[in-house]
Structure formats: structure tokens, C-alpha cells
Amino acid sequence: MSEQKIAFITGANRGIGFETAKKLGKLGIFPVIGSRNEDSGKAAVAKLKEEGIESDYIKFDVSDKNDYASAYDYFDKKFGKLDILVNNAGLSLEGDPVSSFGNEFPVSKVSEEVLRDTMEANFFAVVFSTQVLLPLIKKSDAGRIVNVSSTLGSLNLLTDPSSSVYGIKMFAYSTSKTALNSFTVHLSNELTDTNIKVNSVHPGWIHTELGGSAAPMSPEDGAETSVRLATLPADGPTGGYFHMDETIAW
């Protein structure tokens, strides 16, 4: 079994996921890139190597359950464990937050396809892939599971007229992140008496394809909270919802 900490970051070939892998790598953790596309995954590994970071890539399409089993076999055979799982991969089929202010995707008209595809990628895939990998995380001395959520998953903020996200109308995306937060709560409760910590993160409003061009934060900024929760000490929190040092209301 490897003595070095091993991290698996899904959707890590670009954006927040890539920056998360890079930051973890600079801390001496071995990052494994999960990417649907082989060329993109290998390109990410090459970029990390230019930074002096050794890493690896595995094909990981959240919509392909065969990839869950393949990921388990990879980590089991190569490392015998998994220390850190960052469930970063996700999608939005409703545009970016700015366009949603015009309520172009009202809940009364959201299509079944948009709702199902969003829930499948952002919620069901996280639940079922985590279930597959959990036995390996239990073999870690300090397992950490980080679910990349959003303030758009906070029912508290979405119902507060003074909140900055109150006017954002992205029903499918918001609902998927609310469900993801529920998974965080329930899984952390199940693992209370273990050395595994499970938390949700809001990375911030990040300038990516999903966040849009108006977003004020860089992907590097967006990775900061995930890295903090991926490297929590033994007395760190579990079952929480955070952005940087701030606790977010569910």
C-alpha cells in the first residue's frame, strides 16, 4: 500500500478540477485526473509535469458505470487505497447564472431531458461512484470526500430576498446541488465513527464555461476550498457546507 496520499479528482482535465489537482500535487499528494476524454486527460498530466508534479489519468465518464468499476480496480491494484475523493465533475444545461436572471428556464417549463440529465450527472453519478470507491477510502488513515456543490444548492439562500443568488433561476442545476448536499449530510452521518470526513463546498462564482464570462473568480481561486477540505486535520469538520472559512446555510 502506498504511503503517499492519493487523490482522485473527477472532471479534472480543466477548470476548477485541474487547479485542485495542481494544488494537491504541490502539497505532495499524488493526483489522479478523471476525464471523459483521453487526450484531454493526458494533456492535463503533461501540464502538471511541467509544474514538477507527477500525476496520472484514468478515463472517467460520470455517465458510464463501467468507469466506476474500472476506477476501483485502478486504485485497488496500483495503490491499495484512496485517500481523497473530490467529486468535481458536473454540468449545467441552463446556461450561466447571469442569463438565468431573465428566467429563461422557468421551473414550469423545464424539460424532462434537462432535469434528468442534470440530476444524473450532478447527483446520481456522484452517489453511485462514491459508493463504489468507498471501500478503498475506508482503507485510508484519513479519508476525505469533497462534494463540489454551489450556493445555488442552498434553499436558505434561494429563499432569502437579500441573498445574491435569490434571482438566479436554474431549477435543474440548483435542485441537483441541493440533492448533493443531502448526500453529504447522510453520508457523513453514516461515517461519523470513522476517520472519513465528508463535506460540500461552494467554490465561488468562477470564470469557467459553467460560470460564464462575468464571473469574478479564477479557477485557481475556485480550487481553494476543495483543497482545504481535502486536507483537513483529524479535528476538522465533517457534514458541513463551506466556502473558504465561511459556513453556508443549507
Residue 148 belongs to some domain of the structure: yes
Residue 167 belongs to some domain of the structure: no
| CATH number reported for the structural domain that contains residue 81 in this entry | 3.40.50.720
CB under 8 Å to 193, separation ≥6 — which residues? none
Q: Mean pLDDT across the stretch 203-214? A: 56
**All 3 cell numbers of residue 61?**
465518464
The model's pLDDT over 116-138, given as tens digits with 9 standing for 90+, comes to 999 999 999 999 999 999 999 99
Higher-scoring residue by pLDDT: 54, 2: 54
Q: Mean pLDDT across the stretch 16-20? A: 94
Residue 19 belongs to some domain of the structure: yes
pLDDT of residue 211: 46
What's the domain range around 219?
Answer: 6-93+121-159+174-247
Beta bridge partners of 86: 9, 146
pLDDT of residue 207: 46
The model's pLDDT over 165-189, given as tens digits with 9 standing for 90+, comes to 888 888 999 999 999 999 999 999 9
- Give how many domains the chain has, as a whole number: 1
**All 3 cell numbers of residue 237?**
469538520
pLDDT of residue 71: 98
